[in-house]
Every structure is written in C-alpha cells, then in structure tokens.
Amino acid sequence: MDTASTLAFFQNFYTDAPLYVVTEPGPSAALPPAASTVGSTAGTSAAASGAATAATTTDVPVLAPAAVAAPAVLAAVTAAPVAAPVLGPTSPAKLPSLATLTAPVPTSRAATPANPTVPPTPIMPPLPPTPAPAPVATPKPAAAEAGRQPTTLTLAQLPAATAAPAGRVQPTPTQSPVAHIPFSTLGSNANGLVVLVRLSPEEFRKVPRNVFLNNLLKALRLIVEDVVLVNVEHPSYPVALCSLRQHLAAKQFLAFGKNLLDVAVYTTQPYEPVLLFGDTAFLGASEISMLEYDAGRKKQLWQAVQRMFMA
C-alpha cells in the first residue's frame, strides 16, 4: 500500500469517530456538541494537514473541503466556551479538592504537637507548718566550760647551780643592784613559763608570731598564751629576779641571749638546765635569730629542754 492511499484511508476512517470516550457509572449527561465537535475537528484538521503534506510530496489529489472547513470549525469552537455539565440529584457525590487533603502520618512516627494542651494542675492546700525539733543539749566537758587550763610543766631532777666566783657579788632573790632595770611583758599567765629576750620594741611585738618559738612550745604541749614573754630593755644589764617576782610567780625561766637574769649571770652555762636557790629552774640558750638557722644549736636546745622538763 502506498503512502497516498494510507493517508486517505485513515482520513476517511477517523473523520466522524471520537478518539476518546469516558464511560461514567450511572446516568450522566451527554457530552455537549462542542466537545464532540472539538474531537472531530481535531481529527479532521490532523488528517487535512497530513493530506496537504502528502500532496506536496507525492502529487496525489487530497479532498480540499475538509482542509478548508477546519479553520472555520476551530474558530467556532474557540468563540463558544464549553459549558460544564450540571449533576442531577442522582449524580455521584463530588470528590474533595486535593488542596484540602493532607498526607496521613504513620501512627508510630506521629509527632507531638508544638503547643500541647496541658490540663491545669490542681492546687493543693498548704500543709500545716511542721514544728521545729527541740534542740538537744550536748553535755560539754567541765574543762571546756571552765575555759582552757594552762599546762603545768613538771621539772626533772636538776643539779644546783654552782657558786659565784670569788670577788663577784651574787644577787639574792630579794636584793639586787640591778633592780631598777626596766622590762616589758607580753602575756597574762603569771604562773606559766617565762621567756626572756632582749629585742627592740618593734621586734618584741613580733615574737608571739615567731615560727621557731611556736614550734618549740608545741613540742612542750604549750602555746604562746601559756607563757609570759619578758623583754629586757637595757642593752647590757640583766633584769633582776626580785623585780620579776613582784609581778610574776613563775619559777621556770627560758632565756634566749646573754646576761638576761641577774642571779644566773655567773652560775650557769648555755644549754645546761640548773636550779637556782633550790626552786627556780633556769635554761640559757642563744638568741632566737641565731637558733632559727642553726641546726646544731637547735639540737642542743632540744636536748636541754628534754633534760629540764621530760626526764
């Protein structure tokens, strides 16, 4: 079959036949004439266009009335709008618009709403105040209630001091040629250990905070409040024992320096504890500033302290 005859066959076959018909369930309105006209006109126009193309290439005559009538039919269809069919009472219900539909959310992945509605929390009535427990009185030791008692050092068996050399005047506990020598004190424990020093007033006020002295007293189970610090204010002469006895009742003396107590000037040696007049224990040592940085002298002092208080 040649091309011209094939085109003529399809042109005559699809001239009056609709290309696509939608079948609806139940009674429905027939398609308007304009819609069918559009389908037939489209087929006629396509066939006429194919026939004209074939005529130009194969010299086969093509029916001209259909090709000429196509533009007139298209103009009529464009000018007349297609009316939408009106559904009757027996027509099926109209489907909802796609704009109003939302995608279903799976139950297992359902998200929590952004602002969930929380039910109001019921207000509980206020609870009655709980009575505070009565304080329990803790018994305190009698020593704590009466205050800290100063520690009393027990003297060891000490040798008596040697006699003064010939030609030297030995002062007595009641009379002394240096009874006028001034002195200053720090502390209020009149029965405690007496610590003798010779320092300037500024340095003497710093002695209670001296680390070496506090460590030594700690080894004796004492603190600074348990002792009385005495500063001899004369640069050369010692303080008189009779002058100290007017203010202090202590009988234990620890001297850091030379010529600090009149009754011990000629009868004692450094780091050798002795008894003066049978009731006054005395121990002489180097100055505190020298002992702080001399391990040998520290050892000597500690051994002498042990013989005086811990033997």
> Residue 236: which pLDDT band, with cuts at 50, 70 and 90?
very high
Looking at residue 75, what is its pLDDT? 47
- Check whether 21 has a pLDDT greater than 80: no
Higher pLDDT: 93 or 144? It is 93
Residue 275 bridge partners (DSSP): 160, 281
Looking at residue 244, what is its pLDDT? 94
> Residue 192: which pLDDT band, with cuts at 50, 70 and 90?
confident
Looking at residue 131, what is its pLDDT? 58
Write out 87-132 in H/E/C secondary structure: CCCCCCCCCCCHHHCCCCCCHHHCCCCCCCCCCCCCCCCCCCCCCC
- Check whether 74 has a pLDDT greater than 60: no
Indicate if the alpha-carbon torsion angle 138, 141, 146, 147 is positive or negative.
negative
Asked if 11 contacts 47 with a C-beta cutoff of 8 angstroms, the reply is yes
In this prediction, residues 38-52 reach a mean pLDDT of 45
pLDDT tens readout for residues 193-220: 999 999 999 999 999 999 999 999 999 9
CATH numbers and ranges of domains, the chain: 3-79 (no CATH), 183-309 (3.40.470.10)
Three-class DSSP category at 28: coil
Asked if 199 contacts 231 with a C-beta cutoff of 8 angstroms, the reply is yes
Average pLDDT, the chain: 73
Asked if 229 contacts 195 with a C-beta cutoff of 8 angstroms, the reply is yes
